[in-house]
Amino acid sequence: MANHKSALKRVRQNQKRRLRNKMRKTRIKNLTKAVEVAIAENAHEKAKECLHRAQKYIEKIGHKRGTLHRKTASRKVSRLTRKVNALLKKTAAS
């Protein structure tokens, strides 16, 4: 355990940041799951709306907040977008 005053403060800061990052990553998972559920239901309007919300949040967390690496955030958004676009193509072809 830390003994110095500065080390104790660092422990408190790290714990606060860890919880904040955990909350943000959980929110990303929930937003991603919402998009995938909409895709499974073939609800293209709902999927587009959920994708927009997820994309906005993931990019903010990746580019501004630093919880995720920016390329990881871009990859997550790209994969979700590809899934939604595939749904839209499938719906348009029908």
All domains of the chain in start order, with CATH: 5-93 (1.20.58.110)
Average pLDDT, the chain: 94
Q: What does the alpha-carbon distance between residue 47 and residue 62 come to, in Å, rounded to a whole number?
A: 22
90 has pLDDT over 90: no
Q: Within a 13 Å sphere around the CA of 35, how many CA atoms are in the beta-carbon half?
A: 26
Structure confidence at residue 29 (pLDDT): 98
Instruction: Please give the share of the chain, as a percent, with pLDDT higher than 90.
Output: 87
Residue 8 pLDDT level (bands cut at 50, 70, 90): very high
78 has pLDDT over 80: yes
2 has pLDDT over 80: no
CA dihedral 43, 70, 59, 14 (to 10 degrees): 110
Q: What does the alpha-carbon distance between residue 26 and residue 88 come to, in Å, rounded to a whole number?
A: 27
Among residues 24, 33, 15, 14, the alpha carbon closest in space to that of 73 is found at 24
Q: Which of 60-64, 67-71, 86-90 has the lowest mean pLDDT?
A: 86-90
Q: Write out the two tokens for 10.
A: 């660092």
**For 12-57, how does the pLDDT look when each residue is reduced to its tens digit (9 = 90+)?**
999 999 999 999 999 999 999 999 999 999 999 999 999 999 999 9
